[in-house]
Amino acid sequence: MAVEQKIRELQHFINGSLVPGTSGRFSNVYNPCTGEVIARVPLATREEVRHAIEVAKNAFPKWKAMSGGKRSEIVQRFRQLIAENQEELIEIICEESGKTKEDARGEIQRGLESVDLAINAPHMVKGEYSVNVGGDINAFSRKDPLGVVAAISPFNFPVMVPLAQTSMAVAVGNAVILKPSEKVPISALYISNLWKEAGLPDGVWTVINGDKEAVNELLENDTVQAIHFVGSTPIAEYIYHTGTKYNKRVAALGGGKNFMIVMPDADLEKAANAFIGAAYGAASQRCMALSGVIPVGKETADKLVAILKEKIEKLKVGPYTDDNVDFGPVISKESKETILGYLERSLKEGAKLVTDGRNPEILKTLNGFYLGPTLLDEVTPDMEIFKYEVFGPVRIVVRADSLQEAIDIINSHELGNGVTIFTNNGAAARKFQDEIEVGMVGVNVPIPIPVGYHNFAGWKRSNFGTGVMFGPDQANFYTKRKTISEKWLDVDTESKVTFAFPSNDNTK
C-alpha cells in the first residue's frame, strides 16, 4: 500500500520569522520529476505586502548605520553557511526545480560568486575626495543605501539569481524584500534561515510569496525605492514601465534567443559537444541557453547536423535521483504544453525534424513533466519558433551562406542576451565581436555568462533599464550618490556678499 506524501504548508519570512499567510489563496508547488504536489505556498494580499514593507522600513535605519565592515562580516558568515549546507540546498533545488544535482551544484557555486563580491562592498561604495577645489572648499562624495528595495526572481535558478539580485543590496545597507517564483519558494525560505543564522538583524531580509497582486504592491508602494527583476521579456517590460511610472529605480532583465555561429574552419566535434551542453542543459530552461545554431555554408551545416543528431539521440532524460541523466523535466505541465505547441506549429511552417523528444522513454515509468531533446533543421527567421524564446529542449538550426548573413540574422532579432561563435579564424572572430548587437558575446565559449565580478546584462528587449545582474554596477544600482562641498570658516576673516557664480576665481 502506497504511503501518501505529506504536502508541506509554506509561509512567508518576515521580521526574522516564518509567518503564515492570511489570504486564503495558495499555489501548488510540484516536484517536476514526479508530477506530484509537494507543498502549498501562500499568495500574499496587498495588505500582507504592505506590512512586510513597513517592517523592512523600520529595520533599515539601524542596518544603514552599521559599519560597512560589520555588515561584511555578516555577509561573509552567510557565505560560509551556504557552503556548509550546500548538500541540503542541492536537494531542495532539485526537488522543486527538477534539475540534476550537478547542475544545482554549479548554480550554487555561481551564486556564491555574487556573495563573494558583496563581501567587498565597503571597497565598492567608497566615495571621492578633493582638497581645496577652490576657496578652501573640500569636495567629497558618498554612496548611501536606497532604503527598502525588492527583487523578483524566476523559477529556473532558485538560488543563483536571488543571490545575484540581493547580496550586494544587503551588503551596502538596504533592507531587501525577495519575491521568489511561486514555483520554487522553498529554496528562498531556506536561504532566509541562513541569513538569520548569520546574524542579519530582523527585518533586513524578507521573503514574501505571491503572484501579480504582491508584485503590483511592490511596484506601486512609495516606500520601495528599487525593483530588480529577472524573467520573461513581456513581464520584464511590464515591470520596467510600471516601476518607473512610480518613480522607482528598475532593473528588468528579460529573455534571450541565443545563437551559436559555427564557421567552416571550426572543429565540428568540439562545436557539437559545446552546443549540446549549452543548449539542452537544465532542460534548456536558462535565459543564456543556446536556442539554436547557425552553421555557415551547406557543407558545414550538413556535417554538423549529422554529428548533432547522433549525439542528441544518446542523451538521457530523467529524475535527479538518477546520477546518469543529462537533464531533467521542465518546470510544469503548462510549460510542457507551451513548448509542444511551438514544436507542432514549427513543423507546419516547414521546419524539418532531426530528433524527436516528444515522448521520452522515462514517461513509461514516471509522470513528471519530461521532454526529450528535439532538434529542428531548416528553420527560417520568419517562423514563430525563431522569433520567440522557447523555454524547453526544442532547439533549432538556421542555415547561413556567410558570416555576414549569420550576423545579420542574429542582429535582426528583437532579443540580444547572449551569442557565441566557434571558429579558429581571428579575423572572423574580430568581425563578429565588432558587428554583433548582443550584450554578452562568446568566442569558442558556448555560454558567455560573466563571472560574478563582471556585469551581466543583455541588449535590446533582453534588458529594460540600465541595471545589471552580477558585477560592480550592482553597487551603484543599490546606492545613491551624495556630493558635499565643505568649508570651515575662519572667525577672524572678513566676509562680503558676492553674486558671482562660484568658481575657482571667486570662491574666497
Evaluate if residue 503 carries a pLDDT over 80: no
| pLDDT tens-digit map of 62-117 | 999 999 999 999 999 999 999 999 999 999 999 999 999 999 999 999 999 999 99
How confident is the model over 453-468, as a mean pLDDT?
Answer: 83
- Return the half-sphere exposure (C-beta side, CA atoms, 13 A cut-off) of residue 2: 3
Evaluate if residue 374 carries a pLDDT over 90: yes
User: What pLDDT was estimated at residue 151?
Assistant: 98
Evaluate if residue 3 carries a pLDDT over 60: no
Query: Averaging pLDDT over each range in 36-45, 283-292, 451-460, which range is the top one?
Result: 36-45
Evaluate if residue 476 carries a pLDDT over 50: yes
How confident is the model over 479-502, as a mean pLDDT?
Answer: 82
CB 291 within 8 Å of CB 390:
yes
With a CB cutoff of 8 Å and minimum separation 6, the contacts of 172 are: 71, 121, 124, 125, 143, 145, 475, 478, 479
Residue 498 backbone dihedrals phi, psi, to 5 degrees:
-135, 140
User: What pLDDT was estimated at residue 453?
Assistant: 73
How confident is the model over 262-272, as a mean pLDDT?
Answer: 97
Work out whether strand 479-486 and strand 137-145 pair parallel, antiparallel, or are unpaired: antiparallel
Residue 64 CB-density burial (10 A; 0-12 exposed, 13-18 middle, 19+ buried): middle
505 pLDDT band, cuts 50/70/90, is low
Burial track 151-177 (b if 16+ CB lie within 10 A, e otherwise) = bbbbbbbbbbbbbbbbbbbbbbbbbbb
Evaluate if residue 464 carries a pLDDT over 60: yes
Per DSSP, the three-state class of 142 is: strand
| pLDDT tens-digit map of 31-62 | 999 999 999 999 999 999 999 999 999 999 99
Residue 471: C-alpha distances to residues 177, 188, 255, 350, 477 (Å): 20, 22, 19, 42, 11
User: What pLDDT was estimated at residue 84?
Assistant: 97
**Range of weakest confidence among 110-114, 244-248, 288-292, 470-474:** 470-474
User: What pLDDT was estimated at residue 87?
Assistant: 97
Q: What is the mean pLDDT of the chain?
A: 94
User: What pLDDT was estimated at residue 2?
Assistant: 43
What are 77's three cell numbers?
558568515
User: What pLDDT was estimated at residue 491?
Assistant: 77
Residue 76: C-alpha distances to residues 81, 104, 166, 195 (Å): 9, 21, 14, 10
Rounded-to-integer distance, Cα 475 and Cα 122, Å: 10
Evaluate if residue 454 carries a pLDDT over 50: yes
CB 463 within 8 Å of CB 128:
no
Residue 181 backbone dihedrals phi, psi, to 5 degrees:
-60, 135
User: What pLDDT was estimated at residue 499?
Assistant: 77
User: What pLDDT was estimated at residue 320?
Assistant: 96
% of the chain at pLDDT higher than 70: 98
CB 259 within 8 Å of CB 405:
no
How confident is the model over 400-419, as a mean pLDDT?
Answer: 96
Evaluate if residue 348 carries a pLDDT over 50: yes
Q: Which residues are catalytic?
A: 287
- Rg (C-alpha) for the chain, rounded Å, is 25
Per DSSP, the three-state class of 397 is: strand
What are 421's three cell numbers?
561563435
Evaluate if residue 322 carries a pLDDT over 60: yes
DSSP bridge pairs for 207: 13, 178
User: What pLDDT was estimated at residue 6?
Assistant: 82
Instruction: Identify the structural domains of the chain with CATH numbers, from first to last.
Output: 8-126+146-254+462-475 (3.40.605.10), 258-443 (3.40.309.10)
DSSP bridge pairs for 377: 352
User: Which is more confident, 378 or 452?
Assistant: 378
User: What pLDDT was estimated at residue 489?
Assistant: 85
What are 349's three cell numbers?
511552417
User: Residue 453 carries which DSSP code?
Assistant: T
How confident is the model over 137-153, as a mean pLDDT?
Answer: 94
137 pLDDT band, cuts 50/70/90, is confident
How confident is the model over 349-363, as a mean pLDDT?
Answer: 95
Evaluate if residue 507 carries a pLDDT over 80: no
How confident is the model over 488-492, as a mean pLDDT?
Answer: 81
1 pLDDT band, cuts 50/70/90, is very low
Task: Give residue 73's region: left, alpha or beta (phi > 0; psi -120 to 50).
Answer: alpha
DSSP bridge pairs for 242: none
User: What pLDDT was estimated at residue 4?
Assistant: 55
